[in-house]
């Protein structure tokens, strides 16, 4: 678990939007380069499946989830679709700050309502402003120093799931949302839709 203990309930209760970086947060930062038989370049990343349920449970609690990355890759678009994340922004070379500002303006969220999960220096302008800056276990020291909470797990190894659980526990919503989720699964199995 996190070396920072519980997320402060005061910070956690204000969060309405969780923004995820991709490389080093949703993945271990590794990128696999390949070439298909037809000569097409192929880029692969490894995502952690348990993070997906974390995202799902956040959304069930009414917390929005967005992806903002500085690299463009079809697999990120696909993972975003799989997780039902509508705000997927892949903007190579661009600053993340204007993208985050745009999401907040459209949705009417203040900085206090935003959590951002990060591992590297490029995210610091955003981390300095959000209400809940979070560093994954593999984050560089500069990011860890700004973070108000740190995961015990590394990116690509359940850091997103750990954060989702910690946020919902701090808000007192974890037990209810898990109970509802399990009940729904059970109902689906009884009716044969699961």
Which residues of this chain interact with Mg ion, rule CB under 5 A?
21, 23-24, 119-120
**Do residues 48 and 161 make contact, with C-beta atoms less than 8 angstroms apart?**
yes
Q: How far is the CB of 39 from Mg ion (least distance, A)?
A: 29
Distance in angstroms (rounded) separating the CA atoms of residues 140 and 132 = 17
Sign of the CA dihedral with 5 first, then 9, 14, and 15 last? positive
Minimal CB distance residue for Mg ion = 24
Q: How far is the CB of 92 from Mg ion (least distance, A)?
A: 13
Q: Which residue, 21 or 51, is less far from Mg ion as judged by CB?
A: 21
Q: How far is the CB of 82 from Mg ion (least distance, A)?
A: 20
**Do residues 114 and 131 make contact, with C-beta atoms less than 8 angstroms apart?**
yes
Q: Which residue, 141 or 192, is less far from Mg ion as judged by CB?
A: 141
Q: Which residue, 24 or 54, is less far from Mg ion as judged by CB?
A: 24
Distance in angstroms (rounded) separating the CA atoms of residues 153 and 48 = 12
Q: Report DSSP state, residue 29.
A: S
**Do residues 60 and 167 make contact, with C-beta atoms less than 8 angstroms apart?**
no
Q: Which residue, 142 or 187, is less far from Mg ion as judged by CB?
A: 142
Q: How far is the CB of 60 from Mg ion (least distance, A)?
A: 26
């Amino acid at each position: 678990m996190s070396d920072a203990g519980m997320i402060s309930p005061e910070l956690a209760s204000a969060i309405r939007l969780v923004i995820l970086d991709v490389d080093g947060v949703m993945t271990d930062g590794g990128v696999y380069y390949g070439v298909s038989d037809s000569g097409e370049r192929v880029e692969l990343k490894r995502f952690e499946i348990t993070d997906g349920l974390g995202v799902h449970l956040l959304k069930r609690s009414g917390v929005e989830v967005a992806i903002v990355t500085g690299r463009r890759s079809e697999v990120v678009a696909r993972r975003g679709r799989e997780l039902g994340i509508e705000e997927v922004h892949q903007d190579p070379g661009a600053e993340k700050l204007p993208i985050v500002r745009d999401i907040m303006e459209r949705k009417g969220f203040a900085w206090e309502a935003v959590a951002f999960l990060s591992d590297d220096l490029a995210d610091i302008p955003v981390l300095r402003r959000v209400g809940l800056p979070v560093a994954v276990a593999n984050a560089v020291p500069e990011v860890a120093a700004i973070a108000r909470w740190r995961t015990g797990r590394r990116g690509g190894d359940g850091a997103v799931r750990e954060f989702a659980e910690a946020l919902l526990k701090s808000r007192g919503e974890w037990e209810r949302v898990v109970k509802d989720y399990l009940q729904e699964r059970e109902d689906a199995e009884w009716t044969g839709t699961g």
